[in-house]
Amino acid sequence: MNTSQTTILNRTCHYMIAGALMLAAPIALAQDGNTTLGVGAGASITTGDNGTFVGYEAGNLFDRDSDNTMIGAFAGSLGSVGIDNTFVGTRAGMNNIGGDGVFIGSDAGVNNSNGVDNVFVGEEAGKNNTTGSDNVFIGEDAGYYNTTASRNTAVGNKALRMNTTGFGHTALGNEALYDTSTGLKNTGLGWAAGIDIGVGSLNTMVGAAAGMATEHANFNTFVGALAGWDNNRANGTTTATPT
């Protein structure tokens, strides 16, 4: 017998521990290296290999793609395709049909559909991302409202939280670039750096609360704690200009 292969005539397997159902999943006749544990986990596997599905309905609809790891209740449960994904946490990657995603934390990447090559770590990190790709969001609510934007990096709780379609941002620090929405290619390094930038683009703000009150501004560079904190007031407008 080839021990690397699952060969089961009764395609629904039930494993009981102390009278409790621990595993119930249909298994096709020739899958290699799959592990399923939990009611409905990996229940639709037909040709996919090297998958690990642990938790209630984890990877429930995945049928043919390989090299996926889904751990947690409903992790990846509504996706049907996608390879090389790792989802850990309740509802992590629940709607995913993209590939090469790493979503760790409750509701991390829960609404991701076709987005690929994303890393979301933290409760609700990248929660609303749908088709955005090549993003890294680490921290609770980091990149929370990102939908279609790509090539963003946000590290820190609520960093880049309000961004929806803006791309090319780098936000490092709690609430850095928090209110950026559709602006492009901003850099905020430090607690609350560029927190209120809105639709502004091509700004660099380095230091705790640097440029914190600058709204909708472009082409500014502020370095140091509280640098440029009153840029809006100094310019007498809600659309600040470089100083």
72-115 pLDDT, tens per residue? 999 999 988 899 999 999 999 999 999 999 999 999 999 999 99
What is the pTM assigned to this prediction? Answer: 0.84
Q: Which two tokens stand for residue 172?
A: 């490092």
Cα(12)–Cα(67) distance, integer angstroms: 22
- Residues 108-160 have pLDDT tens digits of 999 999 999 999 999 999 999 999 999 999 999 999 999 999 999 999 999 99
Residue 240 C-beta-side C-alpha neighbours within 13 Å: 29
DSSP 8-state symbol, 3 = T
In degrees, rounded to 5, the angle at the alpha carbon of residue 31 between the alpha carbons of residues 25 and 37 is 35
225 falls in which pLDDT band (50, 70, 90)? very high
DSSP assignment of 110-121 equals: TT-SS--S-EEE
- Residues 174-205 have pLDDT tens digits of 999 999 999 999 999 999 999 999 999 999 99
Dihedral angle computed from the Cα positions of residues 118, 87, 148 and 179, in that order, rounded to the nearest 10 degrees: -90
CB atoms within 10 A of CB 24: 16
Name residues whose C-beta falls within 8 Å of residue 71's C-beta, 6 or more positions apart in sequence: 52, 53, 54, 55, 58, 87, 88, 89
Strand partners, 127: none
Cα(142)–Cα(154) distance, integer angstroms: 6
Give percent helix, percent strand, percent coil of the chain, each to the nearest 5. 0, 25, 75
